[in-house]
């Protein structure tokens, strides 16, 4: 029977712990809300927004080909009902980062009193028993890596929350089986014989796997720890593990091909012990967050852990308990190191395991405090000095993935000036589509995707089908191609030039903007005998008699030549009003640049497609004129009649 004084002391300690926990949780929220909105969306954040904006079927299809499973994108898609502002979509990552603070507190309490060893401290020592969980909560609240990715519109903070939730369920399961509630927090949701911890373990483990593939290492370490420390439940754990794998199997069966493809094509192959040491060293430095704090952080962290282990004098039961962070961190370091052979090391892949570094640090600091509290205070001050600059500066600069200047608004700015609301825009990478979606308003055109750039290069057959489906509904299509017609984009551009009618081509930075006309009608063929200088003849043309205001006009020209021309000429197609003003045009080298005139030979005959984007402010009939000019000086090839352009006919405009 606990005495009244002891009970009062315990209640006071719990109240103080609760107040500290509220303060730490509030601090975590403030740290993640600070500077949440100002930075432009990074490349991966743009990808997240675009991916979540896709129809459900395409969302799953893209996730199968991507490096990440679909749960986060599905959650973000539902979250987008609140809006698509930078602050809004990032707040979805703030939530799990804040919730992780009270959750790791509960994990730490359960970890202190699991099946390995029930609490040895008396109930009256509530403050001492709350110290380790509060230290772990402080780590989750302010550790720079967790704050960094707690502000990024990606799945990483959710992956850490799911793994922590699985740990809480796993550690709680032993208490639920034995009925030991001596250290259960008020309002605990288990009771003796309850199945809920087991159900929670299965669901949260599956959720972690559906959020980030790299959570597999942390989940494996957790389950291995449970199996080692709860050996009497090994049969039950096997069943629960099979159920977890069964929940993940429907996705894994579909994704195994792309996972195997990526694993089978390493960019870096470790052949020697030195190679493996370098691969392992990178994630070790990542856990210490040297990316923002420098190598001194690793030295300080290593020295603190060594000091705590030496002075803490861990007993056998402590060593068994410490196996939890050791297994989770160790397997995660090895797993991420192996994975870095397929792409590159990315510190974000360590986020699911990082809270367990917090458990380890909390244990060390707790032992130092138990020996002599000033040692703990000095250690905390040292950590603050080492990590302070990163926590207050580097974290909010967000330069881990992107260091070069970029303009996330460039695509929207260009399209707002050139495209119409009923056009359709295709992006070859979802990152740029997300940047556009973030700024797209009601008067901006909708968008779709043709995945022709890393990390997803879809088959051209799939791309063609999506574009042809769009042609049935849209007369004007825009393509925003990162890296232009280079690499995988080349096949797409070649097919577009042969299938549709090129209407605009413009480079800005590393992006090529292309516009095409998809005509509603084929037009009428006209036989011609128009002789230009230097042996060039226009022998046929096809164009429609009418065009829609604000739509597009498709013109097909057939050229013949007696031989190469002295210069590389461009073809112009003009629409001219009654006053002789050019109101719409398309200029380009023949055959979309694939057949320059200085490469023609005797007997050359080629088909040349041109699309013209029509304005909305003109309703009168327009004259259609064509010709050739030298882009170097603007001089035109003359016809035999002495004119410098051929009038093909009149185009009537319709609403």
User: For residues 10 and 478, what is the distance between their CA atoms, to the nearest angstrom?
Assistant: 68
| pLDDT above 70: percentage of residues in the chain | 91
Q: Choose the weakest-confidence range: 219-223, 229-233, 588-592, 646-650.
A: 229-233
Confidence (pLDDT) at 185: 47
Q: Choose the weakest-confidence range: 189-198, 243-252, 595-604.
A: 189-198
Average model confidence (pLDDT) for the chain?
90
Residue 35, pLDDT > 90, answer yes
Mean pLDDT of 28-51: 96
CA dihedral 592, 597, 603, 605 (to 10 degrees): 20
Q: Are 371 and 377 in contact (CB under 8 A)?
A: no
Q: Return the ∠ at Cα 385 (arms to 379 and 386), rounded to 5°.
A: 90
349: DSSP letter: G
The larger pLDDT score, comparing residue 257 to residue 188, is at 257
Residue 1, pLDDT > 70, answer no
Confidence (pLDDT) at 120: 43
Of 418, 415, 479, 470, nearest to 441 by C-alpha is: 415
The kind and range of the H/E element at 157 are helix 156-178
Mean pLDDT of 186-193: 49
Confidence (pLDDT) at 297: 92
User: For residues 100 and 510, what is the distance between their CA atoms, to the nearest angstrom?
Assistant: 40
Helix (H, G, I), strand (E, B) or coil at 138: helix
Q: How do strand 622-629 and strand 546-548 relate by DSSP bridges? A: unpaired
Q: How do strand 424-427 and strand 446-449 relate by DSSP bridges? A: parallel
Beta bridge partners of 191: none
Q: Are 361 and 134 in contact (CB under 8 A)?
A: no
Residue 376, pLDDT > 80, answer yes
Q: State residue 376 phi and psi, 5-degree precision.
A: -65, -40
User: For residues 283 and 341, what is the distance between their CA atoms, to the nearest angstrom?
Assistant: 13
Each residue of 486-531: pLDDT tens digit? 999 999 999 999 999 999 999 999 999 999 999 988 899 999 999 9
Mean pLDDT of 75-79: 98
Of 420, 410, 413, nearest to 584 by C-alpha is: 420
CATH class of 524-654: mainly beta
Q: Choose the weakest-confidence range: 163-177, 312-326, 462-476.
A: 163-177
Q: How do strand 582-588 and strand 604-613 relate by DSSP bridges? A: unpaired
Beta bridge partners of 647: 625
pTM score: 0.91
Q: Choose the weakest-confidence range: 119-128, 231-240, 387-396, 448-457.
A: 119-128
Confidence (pLDDT) at 522: 82
Confidence (pLDDT) at 401: 78
Confidence (pLDDT) at 255: 92
Confidence (pLDDT) at 205: 98
Residue 188, pLDDT > 80, answer no
Beta bridge partners of 604: 561
Residue 178, pLDDT > 80, answer no
Of 12, 190, 185, nearest to 109 by C-alpha is: 185
The larger pLDDT score, comparing residue 279 to residue 554, is at 554
The kind and range of the H/E element at 583 are strand 582-588
Show Cβ contacts of residue 336 under 8 Å, excluding neighbours closer than 6 positions. Answer: 214, 217, 283, 286, 345, 349, 350
Confidence (pLDDT) at 180: 46
Q: Choose the weakest-confidence range: 10-14, 211-215, 585-589.
A: 10-14
Confidence (pLDDT) at 181: 47
Q: Tell me the longest C-alpha to C-alpha distance in the chain.
A: 115
Confidence (pLDDT) at 10: 53
| Helices and strands (DSSP H and E) totals, the chain | 22, 16
Q: How many CB atoms lie within 10 A of CB 550?
A: 19
Residues in the chain: 655
Q: State residue 498 phi and psi, 5-degree precision.
A: -85, -25
pLDDT interval class at 231 (50, 70, 90): confident
Q: How many CB atoms lie within 10 A of CB 28?
A: 25
- Count the alpha carbons within 13 Å of 538 in the hemisphere toward its beta carbon: 28
Confidence (pLDDT) at 183: 46
Mean pLDDT of 566-587: 95
Residue 391, pLDDT > 80, answer yes
Q: How many CB atoms lie within 10 A of CB 625?
A: 19
The larger pLDDT score, comparing residue 309 to residue 193, is at 309
Confidence (pLDDT) at 2: 47
Mean pLDDT of 627-638: 96
Each residue of 90-119: pLDDT tens digit? 999 999 999 999 999 999 999 987 544 444
Confidence (pLDDT) at 587: 96
Q: How many CB atoms lie within 10 A of CB 268?
A: 13
Confidence (pLDDT) at 267: 65
Q: How many CB atoms lie within 10 A of CB 85?
A: 11
Helix (H, G, I), strand (E, B) or coil at 573: strand
User: For residues 76 and 45, what is the distance between their CA atoms, to the nearest angstrom?
Assistant: 11
Residue 179, pLDDT > 90, answer no
What residues does each domain of the chain span?
A: 4-37+85-397, 410-517, 524-654
User: For residues 180 and 172, what is the distance between their CA atoms, to the nearest angstrom?
Assistant: 10
Residue 312, pLDDT > 90, answer no
Q: State residue 456 phi and psi, 5-degree precision.
A: -125, 120
Of 61, 73, 457, 455, nearest to 251 by C-alpha is: 61
CA dihedral 51, 55, 57, 61 (to 10 degrees): -20
The kind and range of the H/E element at 448 are strand 446-449
CA dihedral 30, 31, 34, 39 (to 10 degrees): -150
Confidence (pLDDT) at 330: 96
CA dihedral 173, 325, 375, 373 (to 10 degrees): 0
Question: Cα–Cα distances in Å, from 404 out to 346, 400, 401, 407, 513?
Answer: 17, 11, 10, 10, 22
- Long-range contact set of residues 614-618: C-beta below 8 Å, sequence gap at least 24: 614/547, 614/548, 614/549, 614/550, 614/551, 614/552, 614/553, 614/575, 614/584, 614/653, 615/549, 615/550, 615/583, 615/584, 616/420, 616/549, 616/550, 618/549, 618/577, 618/583, 618/584, 618/653
Of 108, 140, 155, nearest to 31 by C-alpha is: 140
Mean pLDDT of 202-218: 97
The kind and range of the H/E element at 654 are strand 646-654
Tokens 């080492």 sit on residue: 386
Assigned token pair, 254: 């579909």
Confidence (pLDDT) at 189: 47
Mean pLDDT of 130-139: 95
Show Cβ contacts of residue 288 under 8 Å, excluding neighbours closer than 6 positions. Answer: 297, 298, 301, 302
User: Which of 68-77, 281-290, 564-573 is most confident?
Assistant: 68-77
Residue 148, pLDDT > 60, answer yes
User: For residues 238 and 224, what is the distance between their CA atoms, to the nearest angstrom?
Assistant: 11
Each residue of 291-302: pLDDT tens digit? 888 889 999 999
Mean pLDDT of 249-258: 91
Assigned token pair, 14: 């719990």
């Amino acid at each position: 029977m606990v005495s009244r004084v002891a009970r009062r002391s315990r209640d006071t300690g719990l109240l103080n712990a609760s107040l500290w926990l509220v303060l730490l949780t509030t601090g975590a929220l403030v740290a993640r809300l600070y500077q949440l909105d100002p930075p432009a969306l990074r490349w991966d954040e743009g990808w997240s927004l675009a991916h979540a904006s896709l129809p459900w079927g395409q969302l799953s299809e893209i996730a199968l080909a991507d490096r990440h499973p679909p749960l986060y994108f599905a959650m973000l898609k539902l979250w987008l009902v609140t809006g698509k502002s930078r602050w809004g979509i990032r707040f979805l990552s703030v939530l799990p980062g804040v919730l992780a603070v009270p959750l790791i507190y509960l994990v730490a309490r359960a970890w202190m009193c699991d099946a390995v060893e029930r609490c040895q401290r008396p109930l009256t020592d509530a403050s001492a028993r709350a110290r380790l969980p509060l230290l772990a909560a402080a780590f989750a609240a302010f550790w720079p890596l967790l704050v960094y990715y707690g502000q990024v519109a990606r799945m990483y903070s959710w992956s850490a929350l799911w793994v922590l939730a699985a740990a809480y369920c796993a550690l709680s399961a032993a208490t639920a089986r034995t009925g030991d509630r001596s250290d259960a927090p008020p309002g605990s949701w288990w009771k003796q014989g309850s199945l809920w911890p087991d159900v929670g373990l299965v669901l949260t483990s599956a959720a972690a796997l559906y959020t980030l593939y790299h959570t597999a290492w942390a989940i494996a370490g957790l389950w291995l720890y449970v199996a080692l420390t709860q050996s009497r439940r090994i049969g039950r754990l096997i069943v629960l593990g099979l159920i977890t794998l069964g929940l993940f199997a429907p996705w894994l069966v579909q994704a195994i091909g792309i996972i195997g493809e990526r694993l089978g094509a390493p960019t870096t192959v470790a052949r020697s012990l030195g190679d493996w040491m370098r691969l392992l060293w990178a994630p070790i430095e990542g856990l210490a967050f040297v990316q923002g704090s420098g190598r001194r952080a690793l030295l300080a962290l290593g020295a603190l852990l060594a000091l705590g282990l030496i002075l803490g004098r861990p007993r056998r039961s402590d060593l068994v308990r410490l196996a939890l962070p050791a297994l989770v961190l160790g397997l995660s370091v090895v797993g991420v190191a192996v994975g870095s052979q397929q792409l590159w090391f990315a510190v974000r892949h360590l986020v699911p395991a990082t809270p367990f570094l917090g458990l380890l640090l909390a244990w060390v600091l707790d032992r130092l405090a138990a020996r002599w509290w000033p040692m703990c205070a000095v250690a905390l001050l040292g950590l603050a000095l080492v990590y302070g600059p990163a926590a207050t500066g580097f974290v909010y600069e967000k330069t881990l993935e992107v260091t070069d200047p970029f303009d996330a608004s460039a695509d929207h700015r260009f399209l707002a000036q050139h495209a119409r609301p009923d056009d359709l825009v295709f992006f070859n990478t979802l990152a740029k589509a997300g940047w556009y979606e973030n700024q797209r308003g009601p008067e901006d055109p909708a968008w779709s995707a043709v995945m022709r750039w890393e990390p997803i290069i879809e088959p051209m057959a799939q791309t063609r089908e999506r574009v042809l489906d769009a042609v049935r509904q849209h007369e004007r299509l825009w393509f925003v191609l990162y890296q232009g017609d280079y690499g995988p984009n080349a096949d797409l551009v070649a097919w577009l030039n042969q299938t549709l009618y090129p209407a605009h081509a413009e480079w800005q930075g590393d992006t090529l903007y292309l516009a095409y006309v998809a005509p509603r009608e084929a037009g009428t063929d006209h036989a011609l005998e128009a002789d230009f200088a230097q042996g060039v003849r226009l022998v046929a043309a096809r164009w429609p008699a009418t065009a829609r205001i604000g739509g597009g006009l498709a013109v097909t020209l057939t050229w013949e030549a007696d031989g190469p021309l002295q210069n590389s000429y461009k073809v112009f197609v003009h629409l001219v009003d009654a006053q002789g003003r050019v109101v719409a045009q398309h200029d380009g080298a023949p055959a979309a640049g694939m057949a320059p005139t200085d490469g023609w030979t005797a007997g050359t005959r080629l088909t040349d497609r041109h699309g013209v984007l029509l304005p909305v402010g003109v309703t009168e009939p327009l004259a259609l004129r064509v010709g050739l000019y030298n882009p170097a000086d603007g001089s035109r090839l003359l016809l035999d009649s002495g004119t410098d352009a051929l009038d093909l006919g009149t185009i009537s405009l319709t609403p």
